């Protein structure tokens, strides 16, 4: 897998002339003075998320790699190893093995898909609303010689373009938080799973520490939503109720973030954890500031398109809000659940 260089940011997803327009259109949905509110974001969630990932995918791959999610870390474990372990944990709970077919909801550029396919030998179908990310995933799958086990389909996971009772298992890794309604997604997953099949997920949620009367907490929540393209953040019980409402039986649930060692909290990767490695530095606060400076310079000399610096600013706002959400304990990006479609 090759990461984009800074000078290649936004080179493939959008025409240069449309970058600033796309940033402004996206930010308007989060600006209450311009009509941006939860209802507007829910109505326009598919376009909002597509627009967001057209803008940020190159930044994500550069700073994070091909697996766009968090993970709890253990002592002496690298950041990349923690991501892979979290992905294989999903495969373990699904019981994946050669000959099985699994669905990856919101597969991004396919990092987890490839790890899980290699680990289990199962065939993985990824669903993704972003055509740019689909192209990146296909390139990575080909380079990794995994096209026989990994495929990507373009579509909205609230209306899956897939037949009923097709899959032996399904999973989502920090993806369905983008949905305007969890029940719509979970109902579609239920439809395409075979009877008895399992559905596993890591979900972004507010914890019971969130206080809606706190201005600080509300600011953190808004920063996460705006910086990561979420219509609204759910509480943990909301996710469990949505699973039950569409017919799933719950097997297991817990906040997987709490399984980290004392110095391995998920948010430390954004705050400065493992900054001495190249990948760790890029993801850290200092690394993000350095990248932001480079982006601003390259935009000023017209190497990058107008609006590139605004994208970097947006991502830094989201990153800082995520760190504060983790530090205060009001937010988790990895509420884990394993559910089953009744046989």
- Specify whether 251 is located in the same domain as 296: no
Alpha helices in the chain (DSSP H): 19-28, 38-43, 45-63, 79-94, 111-120, 131-143, 182-192, 215-228, 236-245, 268-271, 278-283, 285-300, 308-328
Cβ pair 281, 287 in contact under 8 A: yes
Q: Please determine, for residue 275, whether its predicted confidence score (pLDDT) is greater than 70.
A: no
Q: What is the mean pLDDT of the chain?
A: 93
Contact 73, 79 (CB under 8 A): yes
User: Pairing between strand 249-255 and 331-340?
Assistant: antiparallel
Q: Are residues 49 and 128 in the same domain?
A: no
Query: Is the residue at 217 inside a domain?
Result: no
Least confident of 3-7, 247-251, 308-312, 336-340: 3-7
Same domain? 244 vs 273: no
Strands 101-105 and 167-173: parallel
For residue 176, pLDDT beyond 70: yes
Same domain, 45 and 136: no
Does 197 share its domain with 181? yes
Q: Is residue 251 pLDDT above 90, yes or no?
A: yes
Residues 89 and 60 in one domain: no
Q: 25: how many CB neighbours lie within 10 A of its CB?
A: 14
Q: Report if residue 74 sits inside a domain.
A: no
Mean pLDDT of 207-216: 98
CATH code at position 150? 3.40.50.150
| pLDDT tens per residue across span 33-49 | 888 889 999 999 999 99
Note whether 246 and 273 are same-domain residues.
Answer: no
> What does the DSSP assignment read for 136-186?
HHHHHHHHTT-TTTEEEEE--TTS-SS-TT-EEEEEEES-GGGSS-HHHHH
Q: Is residue 123 part of a domain?
A: yes
Is the distance from CB of 89 to CB of 166 less than 8 angstroms? no
SS3 (DSSP) at 60: helix
Q: How many Cβ atoms sit within 10 Å of the Cβ of residue 110?
A: 29
**Rounded-to-integer distance, Cα 291 and Cα 63, Å:** 9
Q: Per the domain annotation, does 220 fall within a domain?
A: no
C-alpha span between 226 and 12 (Å, rounded)? 23
Q: Kindly state the average pLDDT of the residues 258-262.
A: 92
Q: Report yes or no on 222 lying in a domain.
A: no
Residue 165 has pLDDT above 90, yes or no: yes
Task: Note whether 109 and 183 are same-domain residues.
Answer: yes
Q: Residue 282: is its pLDDT beyond 80?
A: no
Q: Tell whether 311 is covered by a domain.
A: yes
Q: Are residues 110 and 166 in the same domain?
A: yes
- pLDDT (tens digit per residue) in 228-250: 999 999 999 999 999 999 999 99
Residues β-bridged to residue 338: 200, 252
Measured CA to CA, the distance from residue 216 to residue 222 in angstroms comes to 10
Amino acid 273: pLDDT: 54
Q: What percent of the chain has pLDDT over 90?
A: 80
According to DSSP, the β-strands at 331-340 and 193-206 are antiparallel
- What kind and span of H or E run contains 251? strand 249-255
Residue pointed to by tokens 């970058």: 19
Q: Is the residue at 224 inside a domain?
A: no
**Domain total for the chain?**
2
Confidence of residue 276 (pLDDT cuts 50, 70, 90): very low
Tell me whether residue 252 is in a domain.
yes
Compute how many other C-beta atoms are within 10 angstroms of the C-beta atom of residue 161. Answer: 10
Counting every residue written for the chain, the total comes to: 343
pLDDT score, position 280: 59
Q: Looking at 67-76, 114-123, 182-191, which range is the least confident one?
A: 67-76
Looking at residue 294, its pLDDT comes to: 83
Q: Is the CB of residue 92 less than 8 Å from the CB of residue 336?
A: no
CB atoms within 10 A of CB 204: 25
For residues 322 and 336, membership in a common domain is answered with no
Calculate mean pLDDT across residues 151-164. Answer: 97
Confidence band of 281 (pLDDT split at 50, 70, 90): low
pLDDT of 292 reads 87
State the residue for tokens 């000023």: 300
Instruction: State which residues form the domain around 153.
Output: 79-210+230-256+331-340
Residues 281 and 240 in one domain: no
**What is the reported pLDDT for 278?**
43
Between CA 319 and CA 322 the distance in angstroms is 5
- pLDDT above 60: residue 82: yes
Query: How far is C-alpha 11 from the chain's CA centre?
Result: 21
Nearest to 239 by CA among 156, 332, 126, 129: 332
Specify whether 252 is located in the same domain as 104: yes
Three-class DSSP category at 75: coil
């Amino acid at each position: 897998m090759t990461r984009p260089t800074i000078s290649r940011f936004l080179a493939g997803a959008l025409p240069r002339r449309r970058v600033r327009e796309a940033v402004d259109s996206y930010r308007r949905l989060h600006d209450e003075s311009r009509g941006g509110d939860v209802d507007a974001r829910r109505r326009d969630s598919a376009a909002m998320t597509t627009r967001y990932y057209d803008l940020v995918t190159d930044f994500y791959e550069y700073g994070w790699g091909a697996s766009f999610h968090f993970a709890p870390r253990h002592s002496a474990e690298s950041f990349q190893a923690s991501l892979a372990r979290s992905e294989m944990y999903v495969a373990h709970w699904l019981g994946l093995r050669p000959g099985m077919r699994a669905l990856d909801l919101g597969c991004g550029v396919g990092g987890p898909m490839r790890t899980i396919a290699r680990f289990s030998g199962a065939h993985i179908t990824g669903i993704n609303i972003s055509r740019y990310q689909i192209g990146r995933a296909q390139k990575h799958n080909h380079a990794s010689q995994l096209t026989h086990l990994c495929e990507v389909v373009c579509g909205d996971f609230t209306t899956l373009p897939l037949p009923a009772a097709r899959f032996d298992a399904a999973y989502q890794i920090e993806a369905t938080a983008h949905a305007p309604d969890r029940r719509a997604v979970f109902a579609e997953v239920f439809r395409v799973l075979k009877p008895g099949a399992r559905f596993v997920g890591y979900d972004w949620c507010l914890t019971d520490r969130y206080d809606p009367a706190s201005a600080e907490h509300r600011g953190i929540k808004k920063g996460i939503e705006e910086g990561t393209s979420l219509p609204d953040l759910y509480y943990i019980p909301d996710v469990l109720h949505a699973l039950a409402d569409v017919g799933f039986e719950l097997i297991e649930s817990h906040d997987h973030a709490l399984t980290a060692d004392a110095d391995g909290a998920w948010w430390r990767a954004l705050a400065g954890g493992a900054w001495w490695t190249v990948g760790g530095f890029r993801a850290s606060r200092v690394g993000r500031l350095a990248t932001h400076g480079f982006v601003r310079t390259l935009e000023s000399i017209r190497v990058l398109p107008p609006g590139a610096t605004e994208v970097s600013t947006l991502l830094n706002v989201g990153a800082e809000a995520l760190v504060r959400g983790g530090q205060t304990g009001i937010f988790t990006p990895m509420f884990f659940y394993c559910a089953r479609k009744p046989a």
